[in-house]
Amino acid sequence: MAQVERQKRKRAVAGNTAAVGIQSRESRSGQAPDGIPTLEWIIGAVGFVLVASVIGFLLYQALTGDRKPPDVQLRVHSIVQTTNGYMVHMKAANHGGSTAEGVVIEGLLLEGSVPLERSETTIDYLPPRSEKNVGLFFTRDPRALRVELRALGYEEP
């Protein structure tokens, strides 16, 4: 029994020595034995400020954002001859405050007030304050005629 008691004491002393060694190593590394390093606190605070700022901005936009309907404006960018006719390359811009889906665009070639040819395309998704490049194909030369463009309709997302 005395031998068992001696072994228990040796283990207890060895455990205390190991704990003291670990504690002295932590103190030497510049980290407080029971605390978090200062750099970690600074990085955490910067991350918190960034996340809180983004959440605040999104809440502000959700509560006070522009609620105007889509305002689709079309303008001819260029006319290009293709193997099957001509393409009227245009920009569609949504100057409104909400998204438009399935925007149907119609293009007419007019000689005076008489429509000679019609072409149509659809823009799947047009976010607010954005532009998309689209094209309409015609068989007649749009440079010799008047091109009339208009948005026929859209869907709300």
Burial bucket for residue 107 (CB in 10 Å: 0-12, 13-18, 19+): buried
Residue 83: predicted pLDDT: 93
Q: Give the burial class of 85: count Cβ atoms within 10 A of its Cβ; 0-12 exposed, 13-18 middle, 19 or more buried.
A: middle
pTM beyond 0.85: no
Burial class (CB in 10 A: 0-12, 13-18, 19+), 7: exposed
Structure tokens at 149: 């463009």
pLDDT of amino acid 74 = 96
pLDDT digits (tens, 9 = 90+) for 102-143: 999 999 999 999 999 999 999 999 999 899 999 999 999 999
Looking at residue 102, its pLDDT comes to 95
What is the model's pLDDT at position 36?
85
- pLDDT below 70 — which residues of the chain? 1-34, 66
Average of per-residue pLDDT values in the chain: 85
- pLDDT at res. 70: 92
- The residues spanned by each domain of the chain are 2-64, 72-155
What is the residue type of 27? S
The CATH fold assigned to 72-155 is Immunoglobulin-like (2.60.40)
pLDDT of the residue at 2: 63
In whole angstroms, give the CA distance from residue 88 to residue 106. Answer: 12
Q: What pLDDT shows up at residue 63?
A: 84
Contacts of 52 (CB under 8 A, 6+ apart): none
